[in-house]
Structure formats: C-alpha cells, structure tokens
Amino acid sequence: MDPACSPKRRRVGDPGAVCVERPGTKFPEVMLFVRESKMGSSRRAMISALARDKGFGVADSFSTSVTHVVAERNQPKDVWSWLKNVSAKCGLEVLPEVLDISWLTDCMESGCRLPVEDRHRLKEESEEEVCTRSSSIPIYACQRKTPVNHLNRHFTDALEDLAEGAAFSESNGRALAFRRAASVLKSLPFRVARMEQLQGVPCLGKHSLGIIQELLDLGVCKEVEKIRSIEMNRVMKVFMSVWGVGLKTAARWYRDGLRSLSEVRASPSVKLTRMQQAGFEYHTDLARPVSHVEADTIAGAIRALVPNSFIAITGGFRRGKDVGHDVDLLLTHPDEGGEVGLLCKLLQYLDEQGCVMFQDYRDNTYKGTNAAGLNESKSTMDHFERCFTILRLPLCPRVTSREDDKVTGRHEVNEAATSHYTTHPKKKIPETRERAVRVDFVVCPSSQYAFALLGWTGSQQFERDLRRYASQEKAMSLSSHHLFDKQQNTFLRANTEEEIFAHLGLPYLEPSFRNA
Ligand code: UTP
Ligand code: MN
C-alpha cells in the first residue's frame, strides 16, 4: 500500500506549515487517511464516503499530504510502528496526528472540524513510559548527547531568538534560561509533537513551555514574532554581524541614533577599533560561511608550513558542522616548550606571502600555578598565546555538504591549496578567485593540550555546563588550561579528553555530540 509520495508537507499548525488548498473540500487544510486494519474494507469505504460527503478530503493511500490518520480499535503502538515505517519511506518530516475514529465521528456529527483533544489521540507511548524516559534526561548539557542535526529546530530557533532578544535588553538570566531550554530540546531523540512528551524534561521553565505549546498549537508564537520584529533587535543583529562589534558597542550605536552600517561608517563620532575596521572592510566575505572543505584546506596548508608541530581544527568543524563563521586552529608541539615562537614564525611566513589581511596578536598571559585567580574567573577567555587573523585564501569551489566531497574532489582542493602555500613561497596569491576568511590561532604547551582542545571545541553551551558541572557536582575547577581539584588541592593531569571526562566521572562524549 505504499503510494508514490508527493512532495514533503508539514502538518497543519506545525512549524512552517504550508496550507495546501484542496478545492472542493470544506476543510482544505485537512487530509484524512482512514486505516483499514481492524475496520475492514467495506466499513472503511463507508466512513471515507461519509467523511467526503461532510467536506473532508480523504486519501485512498498514505502519502506525505496526509494530515490526520484515523483508526478504529487499533493498538496505538501498532499504528505508530506502521506510521513510522510508511513515513520513513516517504521522507515525511513531521508526522500527522494519529486519532481514534471518535474524533471523526464527532466532527461528522457536528458538521465541522472539531479541535483535536487529548482523548482523541492514540499516544505513541504510555504516559508512564514518557515520564520514565523524560526524567532520565540529565540537567547538564555535558551529560547529554547533542548532535549537529537535531529534531526540534523550529522550537530551538524560536527559543534562541528569545534568548538573543533578552540579551539585547540585558536580561542575562532570562537569556540563559531560554538558551538552556533550547539546548535540552536539541538533545531529545524525538520530535516534540505533544506537550506530554515534555513531562519531566529538565530546564524547561513555564515561559519556555508556553512558547512551545503555542508553536505546537498555532505553528507560530506571537512573542517570538514580536521579538523578531522589534527594530532595536534587528539593528543590533546587523551591527553585531560586523567582526569586533559586541553587544555593548552595538547598543551604544543604537542609543546614538544609528540604524544601519552605512550610518555607522558615515558617523564622525564613531571611533572604530582596528578589528572593527577590518570587520567593516571585509564584511561581505566574512558574512559568507566557511565550508569544512575550506577549513581543511587552511589546516592542511598551515600543517605543511610547520611540519614538526601538531595542528588541530577545533570549534564547530570538530563537532561535525559543515559550515562555520571562522576556522579555529589549535597549535602545539610534542615537546613541552617546543611551541614557543611557533606562531610568530608561522605568521611571519604567511605575511611574507601576502596572506595576512589582518592580525591581532596576544601573547601568553598564563601564570601557571596561580590557579586561584583563574579558577574564580567568570570569563571564558583563556590565557594562551593567540592570534585573531583574517587570511586571504584561494577561493574553494562552493561545497554545501560532505556528500559533495566526491563531486568536488576534496583531496584535489587540499593539495592545490597546500602547494600554493608551499611550492611558491614568494608568489603572492592572485587577486582573482580569492576570499577573506577569519582564522583564529591558539597555541598551547603539550601538557595543556587536552584541556585546550576540550575548551576550544565548544559548543559554548556545552562548555558552560561542563564547567558548571565540574564546579557544582565535583568541587573542581575546569578551564582550557587545567582541571583543579579543590578538595584535594591538586591539579589533575590529562593527556586526552577521555581522561578529563574520567576525572569528572562523566561518560566520554564524542565531539559530534557536544552541539548543545
Ligand atoms: P567559535 O566562536 O568559533 O564557535 O568558538 P564555533 O562553535 O566554532 O562556531 P562557528 O561554527 O565558528 O560559528 C569556538 C569555541 O572556542 C571556545 C568556545 O568554547 C567556542 O565554543 N572559545 C572561544 C574559547 O574557549 N575562548 C575564546 O576566547 C573563544
Ligand atoms: Mn569557530
């Protein structure tokens, strides 16, 4: 009974729902599918005919256009296992409502489309199962698996926009609460379709639950739409899209009456930092996402320049993201102390080739054993030697996903770029087909490598929770430099990330699950 599937379609009232008009039906947003199982073919035909008569669209076979599945005397788990099977074959993104026939008979009796009530729904699992599963979701992001591609983007986008709006109005507590709510939804192994599924899920306050409920009921949420449309928020976002412009600067420009980037540039009272000047100059290039192929290319080229050292791509790319806003590189040397002077040499070399369009170098300020000051520091900034740069690159072919590697020839691209840096050291990169890319270099001694790697892999929310977990649950202080046990009054050594997780008594989480 698998029909040829029509294009993907979302359920009515769902995120981004597209209302497919069905001329000739009284309820164009509804497409029923009546399940034959237990009902028999003649009763199914009769009910379908009656429903059509009352103005409902009824599909003969299941397809992605079905919005409501109706069944009689079926075990919920049977219907759900059938539904998951057929919708997977169709590539259906959001599952339809699964209802007992009583909803349809009620509708037909009253002659209108009645709202779906809880009692009509055939639930995917018992309340008890939901509670057991939900209450097992831990409160810290570092205890949850959060993949890059999660199932609740519609809700998390909304909550993150609210978090951003709260941050813009300096309500940091509220911003954090929305971020935590979004983060826990990202870790759920199921798409939220009903509020009962969220019973016992931690980090969801009343406010966030209300937002989710409205999104489930209406597909949109008034408060979220309002936050998105507030002029200050929109303008702040534009200002903060310039590299080097943070919340405080953006708010100041807004308070000064500036409303666009051209107004900022034209304003005689605005004094830009060096970083902001570069941010404006290369704004178009830097706004373009960096692909993982470009990141690999850069890392490959840099590795070829400092062959005895070790260079890791960290940040979002290490977590499996396909695109990022920059490339984060962590440099170290197998011998403790061998890393000293490495970055300066590397930068000088790149500069000689005309590859460095901007650099902001900061020397190492780590004071070694003076743990107390670092431990109590609220700042996530570490003290490594680093350089924020904008590098000029040969433009890579546009690549949108890892699948495309085969097509574009990832290795070819890598080799081409590497040889460009290495075999023509004095040759400037030609002006055509080039772009500016943000590259951050961080240098650490090998004894701190595991901590630096963990710290620079992110995500920010994951790191935040990992440090909170260390401090609140283990009386330890974690930074990108070290792990300090406050009870034992000692530093705990680690050569690998696995060892750090083990010190904290946490199961190891692969980078690809740290996208909290
Ligand atoms: P990014 O801001 O580059 O984040 O910092 P990202 O996750 O890679 O995002 P995209 O893909 O570029 O947009 C990378 C990680 O480095 C850490 C943070 O934990 C962050 O998640 N970091 C960043 C620090 O530890 N210290 C810093 O000063 C900056
Ligand atoms: Mn990054």
Average pLDDT, the chain: 86
Position 5 in a domain: no
- Is residue 163 within 8 Å of 170, Cβ to Cβ? no
Tell me, what CATH number does 430's domain have? Answer: 3.30.460.10
What confidence category does residue 173 fall into, taking pLDDT thresholds of 50, 70 and 90? very high
Q: Which residues 6+ apart lie within 8 Å of 14 measured at CB? A: 94, 154, 216, 219
Q: Is residue 24 part of a domain?
A: no
Task: Verify whether residue 440 is a known catalytic residue.
Answer: yes
503 assigned to some structural domain: yes
Does ligand 1 have an atom closer than 6 angstroms to the CB of 289?
no
Please give the helix or strand (H or E) that residue 71 lies within, else none: strand 68-71
CA-nearest residue for atom 3, ligand 1, is: 315
Residue of minimum CA distance from atom 14 in ligand 1: 315
Domain that holds residue 169: 129-228
Would you say residue 334 lies in a domain? Answer: yes
CA distance to 51, 69, 448, 455, 493, per residue, from 451 (Å): 63, 51, 5, 6, 9
- State which of 240, 319, 456 you would mutate to test the pocket of ligand 1, scoring each by most atoms of that ligand within 8 A of its C-beta: 456
Q: What is the pLDDT of residue 24?
A: 65
Single pTM value for the model: 0.71
> pLDDT for 184-225, tens place per residue?
999 999 999 999 999 999 999 999 999 999 999 999 999 999
- 157-167 tens-digit pLDDT: 999 999 999 99
pLDDT at 117: 83
C-alpha angle 221-287-387 in degrees, rounded to nearest 5 = 120
- Overall average pLDDT of the 273-291 stretch: 97
How many domains are there within the chain?
A: 5
Identity of the amino acid at 256: D
Buried b (16+ CB within 10 A) or exposed e, 7-25: eebbbbbbbebeebeeeeb
How far is ligand 2, taken at its centre, from the CA of residue 64, in Å?
37
484 and 378 part of one domain:
no
Tell me the mean pLDDT in the region 43-64. Answer: 93
Identify whether 1 is part of a domain: no
Residue 451 has pLDDT above 70, yes or no: yes
CA 116 from chain centre, in angstroms, equals 32
Both 439 and 350 in one domain: the answer is yes
- Cα–Cα distance for residue pair 155/194, rounded to 1 Å: 13
**CA-381 nearest atom, ligand 1:** 28
Does residue 8 form part of some domain? no
Exposure of 223 by Cβ count < 10 A (0-12 exposed, 13-18 middle, 19+ buried)? middle
Coil, strand or helix: which one is 191? coil
Instruction: Give 84's pLDDT tier (boundaries 50, 70, 90).
Output: confident
Let me know whether 50 and 118 are in one domain: yes
| SS3 label, residue 311 | strand
Establish if 6 belongs to a structural domain.
Answer: no
Asked if 261 and 351 sit in the same domain, the reply is no
Q: Are residues 173 and 137 in the same domain?
A: yes
258-262 contacts, C-beta under 8 A, 24 or more apart: 259/231, 259/235, 260/235
Shared-domain flag, residues 406 and 436: yes
Same domain, 209 and 262: no
Helix, strand, coil content of the chain in percent (nearest 5): 45, 15, 40
What are the φ and ψ backbone dihedral angles of 160, each rounded to 5 degrees? -70, -35
Q: State how beta strands 97-100 and 68-71 pair.
A: parallel
Q: Report the CATH number at residue 266.
A: 1.10.150.20
Question: Is any atom of ligand 1 closer than 6 Å to the C-beta of 460?
Answer: yes
Active site residue 326: yes
Domain boundary among 124, 139, 172: 124
Q: Determine the pLDDT at residue 452.
A: 98
Q: Is the pLDDT of residue 279 over 60?
A: yes
Find out whether 19 and 11 touch, Cβ atoms under 8 Å. no
Cα(402) to centroid of ligand 1, in Å?
22
Tell me, using a 6 A CB cutoff, whether residue 316 lines ligand 1.
yes
Residue with more model confidence, 203 or 12: 203
Q: What is the CATH number of the domain that holds 202?
A: 1.10.150.110
Same domain, 116 and 177: no
pLDDT in tens, 425-436: 334 434 446 899
Q: Which of 157, 360, 440, 485 is catalytic?
A: 440
Same domain flag for 439 and 461: no
298 and 412 in a single domain? The answer is yes
195 and 219 together in one domain: yes
- pLDDT: which is higher, 78 or 506: 506
Structure tokens belonging to residue 208? 């966030």
Q: Is 10 domain-assigned?
A: no
Is the confidence at residue 404, as pLDDT, over 90? no
Last residue of a domain, one of 90, 124, 158: 124
Q: 124, 158, 189 — which closes off a domain?
A: 124
Residue 385 has phi, psi (to 5 degrees) of -65, 135
Q: Are residues 438 and 291 in the same domain?
A: yes
What's 235-295 look like in SS3?
Answer: HHHHHHCCCCCCHHHHHHHHHCCCCCHHHHHHCCCCCCCHHHHHHHHCHHHHHCCEEHHHH
